[in-house]
Amino acid sequence: MSEGFATLADYEMRYGAVADGDGDKVSALLSDACDMLLAAYESRWGEYRQGEHGVFDRAACAVACSIVSRAANVPLGLAGASQYSQTAGSYNASVTFANPTAELWVGKADLKRLGLAGCRIGSIDAMTGADRA
């Protein structure tokens, strides 16, 4: 992990204590999520420097934790299932999972929250023959 926008303690403040034995897994996922955010930042703004884009700095920790929460909260034994149904007599219950493969992903809402979504306007300075020398 390059910058470490979020720690296990940050995650636990938002989503509660991690089950025994899952701390290393969640820490690794946080590292991966932070690297994903850093890659998104770099593709938009170039090299990351803390303080250059305050919106990103303020939201990075919460977004990294949210990304990991989506992946870590797949029900035990049901990873890979996109839907689950249960019937007892005349009663039926059905659940559709939002992230059945437990993958990490940065969504449009995440990018917007980080200030990495939307249009940008830029320009390129004209080059003359003197500039080439």
> What does the pLDDT average to over 97-111?
80
125 within some domain? no
What residues make up the domain containing 25?
A: 8-117
Between 70 and 3, the higher pLDDT residue: 70
pLDDT at 1 over 70: no
User: What would the pLDDT profile of 26-59 be if each residue is shown by its tens digit?
Assistant: 999 999 999 999 999 999 999 999 999 999 999 9
> What does the pLDDT average to over 120-131?
79
2 within some domain? no
103 within some domain? yes
* Residue 76 near residue 97, CB atoms below 8 Å: no
105 within some domain? yes
131 within some domain? no
Q: Which two tokens stand for residue 106?
A: 């940065």
DSSP characters over the chain: --S----HHHHHHHH-PPPTT-HHHHHHHHHHHHHHHHHHHHHHHSS--TTSSHHHHHHHHHHHHHHHHHHHTSPTT-TT-SEEEEEETTEEEEEE-SSTT------HHHHHHHT--S----------HHHH-
123 within some domain? no
Highest-confidence range of 13-22, 25-34, 65-74, by mean pLDDT?
25-34
pLDDT of residue 77: 58
User: In angstroms, how far apart are the furthest CA atoms of the chain?
Assistant: 84
126 within some domain? no
pLDDT of residue 22: 87
Counted domains in the chain: 1
133 within some domain? no
